[in-house]
């Protein structure tokens, strides 16, 4: 090993594994140009609100994020611990399965990369299940959760995320349909194998790639 090469650590091994898994993703990230709008979608300028009809009001002081399952370091983060993690800003598009898309949303929060560095998923972890304060759940492959621009967002366009859009903290995974982006997130469980969340049990696709229109489970 040459002197400028960093020694192989468990963290670099894990990151290489995620990058390798990411190579097999069909949904691409941060598309620009003519294929930016997925098939069957239309653009909106406003930001619609969609949920199960219960919008829990969770004050930052009482908010918790529990991270459990197949990880080396399970965590229960309060607001202060979450704010102490590296803060990321990025911009991405929203694609909702009900056919609206909204371009150029500016987010601030904690990237899923930084969260994964904290809890260190075991090699056996293949999927994640998110649970929220309104009882909502949604599942996604770890490789999708771990993409570069996935973020646990606390701010949108420079303002704290409103309650209706999932404040104080929601997930944003821009390369999948927006039902995967859990609002009011409270728990992330790392799984061995896949399990269906709320909409996935009710006919929606287990993955949800907008560019291949993975809308319903039969698709």
Interface residues with ligand MTE (CB under 6 A) are: 47-52, 96, 132, 134, 136, 165-166, 178-179, 181-184
Site for Mo ion in 123-182 (CB under 5 A): 179
SS3 content of the chain, % helix, strand, coil (to 5): 20, 30, 50
Least separation in angstroms between CB 187 and ligand MTE? 11
Site for Mo ion in 27-56 (CB under 5 A): 50
Residue with Cβ nearer ligand MTE (49 or 84): 49
The residue behind tokens 């949108």 is 156
Q: Which of Mo ion, ligand MTE, none does residue 136 bind to, with CB < 5 to 8 Å depending on kind?
A: ligand MTE
Least separation in angstroms between CB 201 and ligand MTE? 13
Chain mean position to CA 43:
22
Structure tokens at 45: 């300028």
Task: Indicate whether 25 belongs to the interface with Mo ion (CB under 5 A).
Answer: no
CA-CA distances (angstroms) from residue 43 to 24, 96, 105? Answer: 28, 10, 13
Least separation in angstroms between CB 84 and ligand MTE? 24
Residue with Cβ nearer Mo ion (187 or 215): 215
Q: Which of ligand MTE, Mo ion, none does residue 48 bind to, with CB < 5 to 8 Å depending on kind?
A: ligand MTE
81 half-sphere exposure, CB direction, 13 A CA radius:
12
Residue with Cβ nearer ligand MTE (48 or 160): 48
The residue behind tokens 């995967």 is 180
Least separation in angstroms between CB 125 and ligand MTE? 22
Nearest residue to Mo ion on Cβ basis:
179
Count of beta carbons in the 10 Å neighbourhood of residue 212: 14
Instruction: Assess contact for 189 and 68: CB atoms under 8 A.
Output: yes
Instruction: Assess contact for 13 and 198: CB atoms under 8 A.
Output: no
Please tell me the distance from the alpha carbon of residue 128 to that of residue 112, in angstroms, as a whole number: 12
Site for Mo ion in 64-123 (CB under 5 A): 96
Q: Which of ligand MTE, Mo ion, none does residue 38 bind to, with CB < 5 to 8 Å depending on kind?
A: none
């Amino acid at each position: 090993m040459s002197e400028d090469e960093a020694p192989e650590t468990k963290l670099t091994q894990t990151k290489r594994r995620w990058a390798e898994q990411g190579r097999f993703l069909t949904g691409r990230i941060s598309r620009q140009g003519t294929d930016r709008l997925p098939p069957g979608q239309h653009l909106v300028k406003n930001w619609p609100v969609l949920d199960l009809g219960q919008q829990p009001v969770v004050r930052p002081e009482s908010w918790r994020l529990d991270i459990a399952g197949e990880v080396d370091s399970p965590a229960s983060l309060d607001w202060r611990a979450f704010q102490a993690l590296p803060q990321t800003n990025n911009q991405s598009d929203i694609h909702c399965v009900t056919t609206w898309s909204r371009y150029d949303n500016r987010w601030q929060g904690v990237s899923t990369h930084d969260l994964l560095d904290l809890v260190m998923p075991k090699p056996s972890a293949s999927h994640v299940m998110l649970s929220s304060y309104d009882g909502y759940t949604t599942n996604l492959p770890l490789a999708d959760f771990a993409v570069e621009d996935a973020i646990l967002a606390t701010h949108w366009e420079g303002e704290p995320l409103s309650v209706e859009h999932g404040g104080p903290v929601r997930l944003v995974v821009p390369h999948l349909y927006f039902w995967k982006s859990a609002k009011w997130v409270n728990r992330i469980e790392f799984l061995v194998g896949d399990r269906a969340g709320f909409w996935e049990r009710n006919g929606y696709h287990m993955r949800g790639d907008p560019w291949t229109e993975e809308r319903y489970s039969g698709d």
